[in-house]
Amino acid sequence: MANEKPLRKIAEAFKELEAAVKSETGEVEVVPISQACSLVSPLFQDGHGAGGDDGHGTDAGDLRLEESNVAARCHEHGDGVHLLLPRLDSCTGRYVYIHDDLPSKFNSDLLKNCRLLTRGTDKPNLCPYFENWGFGPEIENTEGVLANKSWFSTNQFTLEVIFHNKMKQYKCLTKNSSLALAIYVPFYAGLDVSLHLWDSNLTVRDASARDLNGWLSKRPEWKAMWGRNHFLVVGRISWDFRTQTDEVSDWGSKLRFLPESMNMSMLSVEGSSWGNDYAIPYPTNFHPAKDSDVVQ
C-alpha cells in the first residue's frame, strides 16, 4: 500500500468531499463518504497509525485530516470507521475587518462639524442629512402616495456615512484581521475633501489624506499585504481625489496618488480609468427595511 501513496489518496478523497460540502446544494452523498473512510480504515488496523512499519504514526482512535480545509475527522467506533463533518462557518471567505480605532478626525468629527459641510451643495448645511444612519429625514407621506416608511430625504454626499453604519451591522465582521477577506477603512474622504476643494493652500487640501496614509502604514493589518486588501467608500466622484500636479487651479486632493493609497481599492459614485477604482450607485431616497417593503 505504501507504493500507492495512501495519504495522497485520502487527501484527494477529502478534497472532493470539501467541494461537495461547499457547493450550492451542500449535499454530500453516502458513497463518497464511505469511500473516504474506507481509505482511512487501514491506518487504524492493529493499533498502527499513518507511520506504517516504523510504528510511530497516529495511534488507533481517530485521525485528523489536515490536508482538507473541511477539517473532517474519521473516528473508529465499534462498527467501523465513521466520518464526522463539523458545521461549516458560514462566514468563511466573507469576513471583513474594520479599522474601528481610526482617529475620530477622519469620520465622526466631520459629522459633529456638519454645519461647515455646505460647499458645493444647495443646502444651508448637511446636518439634517446625517439623521437615521445617514438616510436623512423621513419623508412625510401626508397624501398616501408612498406605501411605507422607507422613504427619506437622502443627500447624495452621505454615501460613506450610510455604508459605515451598514458595515457596523454586517454579520461577518471579525476582530482578527488575518481571517478577513477585506479590510474597511471608515474614512469619510468625500466629506473631508468638501471642506478644502476651493482652498488655495495645497498643504491644507491634502493634509487629511497624508495623515490617513501615515496612520495606516504603521498598522500591522496594513503591513500584511501593504494595503492591497484595504478599501474605502466615498460619496464623491473619483476625480475629486486625483490631483496630479501642484497647481492651485487643479481640482481635488492627491489622496489616490499618494503611494500608500494607490494600493487600496476605492468605491465611489463614479468610476475612473484606474484599475482599483470601482463605481457604485448614488444613494437613492428609497431605503427598504425588509423585502416586503419593495413589493409594496
Q: Output the nine-digit C-alpha cell for 267.
A: 468605491
Q: Is the pLDDT of residue 46 over 60?
A: no
The least confident of 3-7, 47-51, 172-176 is 47-51
243, 254 contact by CB (below 8 A): yes
Residues in the chain: 296
169, 174, 178, 183 alpha-carbon torsion, rounded to 10°: 20
Cα 97 to Cα 101: distance, rounded to the nearest angstrom: 11
Banded pLDDT at 150 (limits 50, 70, 90): confident
Q: Under DSSP, is residue 46 helix (H, G, I), strand (E, B) or coil?
A: helix
Q: For residue 232, which of 282, 183, 284 has the smallest C-alpha distance?
A: 183
Q: For residue 193, which of 162, 257, 236, 164 has the smallest C-alpha distance?
A: 236
Q: Which residue has the higher pLDDT, 288 or 41?
A: 288
Characterize the bridge pairing of strands 73-77 and 80-84.
antiparallel
**What integer best gives the mean pLDDT of the chain?**
78
pLDDT tens by residue, 256-278: 889 888 999 999 988 777 778 89
